[in-house]
Chains A and B, each alone.
Chain A
Amino acid sequence: MGRPDTPLQALDLGKAFLTDTGEELEIIRSVSFALERGEIVSLVGPSGCGKTTLLNLLCRLIEPSQGAVLWNGRESDGVPPGVGYMLQKDLLLPWRSAIQNVMLGLQVRGGATSEHRARARELLDQLGLGAFADHYPSTLSGGMRQRVALARTLAPEPEVLLFDEPFSALDFQTKILIERDTLRLVRDMQRSLLLITHDVEEAVSLSDRVIVLSRRPSSIVSEHRIELSGDRSNLIALRESEGFAHYVRKIWTELDVH
């Protein structure tokens, strides 16, 4: 079952919490999927379907009640190395400048500060934030802050990126721009990306595959391989392309949102 070449596998993963009144609250019933190298997969589900719990299970921040998570075919003891974790909240540290925030992951890992700084500077430049390296987060716009968070996530060159609705708080234009940059960097760096979102259009436009989750307790409803004609990096034109609306409509129906 464990495939050493597959960065991330979830096998019959389930999670139930014990409430204060002693009841079992089942959040995730059974979820199995694989994330292959260089692949972008989205998990979409109705709100409150335990997407964040699933993400925390995958990076071993919480223990599953059943099933297993395999990283490169092996069960990891604690948080596995090479995880890039990004949330809707940018989680920038207000007392650190943009560049110091980007350096956080590198600093945790250790090594020479000058190298960290060079790497952070390079990423900020690539994301068009070179001029804002020494600004504190409080002086940056929401989109800029999320770009800094993206740079912080990518700086340690994680093998697998786990994104929990990182773009959902942004306005449409900012979102498209940062999605495009994410796509470019993820593809260039040959990383695997698991994107958790409730935005169906976002999922279809960015992903190689979309997995649809049911409402709580969640299990997998369906899986779609997204095949679209045209330039996959042009996220606006893609929305007009043949097939896009078809995927979106089909997934919407499966989401069973009333």
Chain B
Amino acid sequence: MFTSSERRTPMKTLTEQDRRTAALLARRRRRIQILLCQLLCFVVLIGLWQWQTETGHISAFLYGSPSGILAALIAAIRDGSVWTDLATTALETLAGFALGNIIGTTLGLSLWYSRFVSQVLQPFILALGSIPIIALAPITIIWFGTGFASKVAMSTLSVVVVSIIIAYKGAMGVDPDQINLMLSLRASRAKIFRLIVIPASMTDIFAGLKLTVGFALVGAIVGEFMSSTNGLGHEIFKAGSLYAISAVFAELVVTVILALVLSSIVTRVERWLLPWRHDLS
């Protein structure tokens, strides 16, 4: 009954194949075009910047220059400081990201268990969510000291509320008919939670992870701004205070690379854990 589409003549299969190959080629050509345009934009912008600073129209002292940034990067790589700073910030970010999301997702999902508790807690969660995290920085230093812990705390705080809200929304977004189906099978609440609510929330939770990986990095860097001895945020703050603008940009480049790497890891993990989500590929 379902095999009618397989009954094709070899001739037709061949042309079908050709058509598909042509479509794939067109798609690849378009991807290359986009890539070339992106590269062109980058080169033109950097070129203009370099040219303007060399001719003196733009002050390299105030705005930095591409060659200066490159020199600062090479110097940081040569003396090895970039690796320790990168490792410090990456570790703080990952710790805050993991801690914030584990706490947030667990809380958010478990709010599904009691509508009453979730309604009671709603204004508190919203109030916490509206606090600008940077305003908490002085307190975290008092509570957690000036070391690693206070950066992880800042990073965790940046993540946790968003994570709670997203996980809760995901859990409450489960189709009530789906719940009824499980109830008709006489499933316990624990089984509904495990078999339906958790997996159904995964799409939202991963959207949250992609969002909060950036927040975690912001939290860690803000923490480093307040007080630190190393880390990318520390270097940016220090270089900025010394008017070493090219060095600031060099550290920013490293920060952007770190952010991209972290979010691509999350995307990869999602593809690996949620293979049923075909629209991702």
Give chain A's interface residues, CB within 8 Å of chain B. Answer: 56, 59, 61, 78-79, 81, 83-85, 87, 89, 91, 93-96, 104-105, 107-109, 128, 131-132, 136, 138-139, 144, 156, 162, 177
B181, A109: Cβ atoms under 8 Å?
no
Q: Which residues of A contact B31 (CB under 8 A)?
A: none
Chain B 146-187: CB-based contact to A (< 8 A → 1; otherwise 0): 000000000000000000000000000001011011111111
Task: Give bound CA distance, A156 to B185, whole Å.
Answer: 9
Other than the given A95-B202, A138-B276, 16 more pairs (CB < 8 A) read: A61-B183, A79-B183, A81-B186, A84-B184, A85-B181, A87-B177, A93-B178, A94-B276, A104-B195, A107-B195, A108-B195, A109-B185, A109-B186, A136-B276, A139-B278, A156-B185
Cβ of B271 to closest chain A Cβ, rounded Å: 13
Cβ of B41 to closest chain A Cβ, rounded Å: 37
B276, A108: Cβ atoms under 8 Å?
no
A87-B177, A136-B276 known; A108 vs B186 contact (CB < 8 Å): yes
B185, A56: Cβ atoms under 8 Å?
no
B196, A108: Cβ atoms under 8 Å?
no
Task: Give bound CA distance, A109 to B184, whole Å.
Answer: 12
Cβ of B221 to closest chain A Cβ, rounded Å: 36
Interchain Cβ contacts within 8 Å, total number: 62
B175, B185, B200, B276: residue with the most chain A Cβ atoms closer than 10 Å: B185
Which partner residue on chain A sits nearest B182 by CB separation?
A108
A79, B199: Cβ atoms under 8 Å?
no
Whether a CB of chain A sits under 8 angstroms from the CB of B28 is: no
Task: Give bound CA distance, A107 to B194, whole Å.
Answer: 12
Chain B 1-42: CB-based contact to A (< 8 A → 1; otherwise 0): 110000000000000000000000000000000000000000
Which partner residue on chain B sits nearest A152 by CB separation?
B181
A61, B191: Cβ atoms under 8 Å?
no
Task: Give bound CA distance, A78 to B180, whole Å.
Answer: 12
Task: Give bound CA distance, A96 to B199, whole Å.
Answer: 10
> What would be 23 A-B contacts, judged by CB atoms less than 8 Å apart?
A56-B180, A61-B180, A79-B186, A81-B186, A83-B184, A85-B180, A85-B181, A87-B181, A91-B175, A91-B178, A93-B200, A94-B276, A95-B199, A95-B200, A95-B202, A95-B276, A108-B186, A109-B185, A128-B1, A131-B2, A138-B276, A139-B278, A144-B2
A95, B274: Cβ atoms under 8 Å?
yes
Cβ of B53 to closest chain A Cβ, rounded Å: 53
